[in-house]
Amino acid sequence: MADVDLSLPTLHSNILAAQQRIKRYVRRTPLEYSPVLSHQGQCRVYLKMENEQVTGSMKARGAFNKLSKLLEEDPAVKEQGPITSSSGNHALACTHAMQTLGVQGTIFIPENVSSSKNEKLKLTGVSLLYHGMDCVETEKKGRQTALDKGATYISPYNDLDVIAGQGTIGAEIFEDLPDVDAVLISVGGGGLVSGIAAFMKHVKPEVRIIGCQPSLSKVMFECVKAGRILFEDSGDTLSDGTAGGIEEGSVTFEFCKKYIDEWILVPEEQIERAIYFMMEHHHRIVEGAAGTAIGAFMQEPEKFKDQNVAIISCGANISMDKIKMIINKYH
């Protein structure tokens, strides 16, 4: 990644190209006004409903951009079989993209993948290999296997084409809300925040990018704080889509260090309350990673008074057991 052009004009151009490349495969999700959150913060809050995206999360954007671009450059990729690894959502996105584009591939997933995501993956018929109890272990295995076989490896976040795909969310937000002042984004490996921040900081540098992580799994926050990638243990969190460590040398670390203006760390109870809030007030099911960004706003609404705020509701892949637990606890 050291020799790759990370300039904002180049990334902006790549995101616009990705937008054209993937538009036939993904949904242009709504940016929905939230009266209750707006009242809480005395501001104007809009939810980017990526929970309504194909495969149930924003990951479809990056997967389709990466695979489509690979096929443009080398049609033989269809038979060679790319390899990827994921804690769930990226795997779901890649399997759907592979099936849609007629690509054979292999997915490495952690042994402790959530039950809801595991069941969905099994239904796809794509080759699944289980390895490790942490996403970094799984990613290392997937990358090494690809290297051994001479196959293409698709990182869930450490890939500029994947980042450009996720960045199309930023393009859509800016089309719908050009006066946006702040964007709250859940951060795991950093692909989503990197893409959105790259687009936003190019078109409107004063936009505040708020990185949101669970208090129990704040690896990227600690890495940025330390100024280097750390190999920290990740705690058990409802936000399983953002949990886990970061691959050594990940380009997303540089993006997060440079473009995240502020961090909000969110306790588990607040993530639960945010998920319940979405069911009660927006009649939507969202997963823990989405609850992290929404919960971050609910935790500190006073920071956004009189501003136009976008919150990325990044996914909806949550188990029925967790939904039942949250309803029983807060209803």
Domain boundary pick from 149, 175, 203: 149
Domain boundary pick from 124, 149, 174: 149
Is residue 3, in this structure, part of any structural domain at all?
Answer: no
Is the same domain home to 122 and 252? Answer: no
Number of structural domains found in the chain = 2
pLDDT number for residue 2: 46
Is the same domain home to 224 and 258? Answer: yes
E-strand spans in 103-236? 106-109, 127-130, 153-154, 182-186, 208-214
Average pLDDT over residues 67-93: 89
CA 198 to chain centre: 14
| Type of residue found at 111 | E
- Please give the residue range of the domain that contains residue 84: 59-149
Element (H, E) at 173: helix 160-176
Is residue 315, in this structure, part of any structural domain at all?
Answer: yes
Is the same domain home to 39 and 71? Answer: no
The candidate with the shortest Cα–Cα distance to 49, out of 169, 164, 163, 193, is: 169
Is the same domain home to 298 and 167? Answer: yes
Element (H, E) at 282: helix 268-282
- If you write DSSP's letter for every residue of 68-129 in order, what string do you get? HHHHHH-TTHHHH--EEE-SSHHHHHHHHHHHHHT---EEEE-TT--HHHHHHHHHH--EEE
pLDDT tens digit string along 203-245? 999 999 999 999 999 999 999 999 999 987 778 899 998 988 8
Average pLDDT over residues 101-124: 85
Instruction: Read off the CATH number of the domain in which 234 is found.
Output: 3.40.50.1100
Distance CA(198)–CA(167), nearest Å, equals 7
* Number of alpha carbons in the 13 Å side-chain half-sphere of residue 242: 35
Domain boundary pick from 127, 149, 171: 149
Tell me the average pLDDT of the chain.
94
**297 band by pLDDT with thresholds 50, 70 and 90:** very high
Is the same domain home to 46 and 85? Answer: no
Say whether pLDDT at 258 is over 70.
yes
**112 band by pLDDT with thresholds 50, 70 and 90:** confident
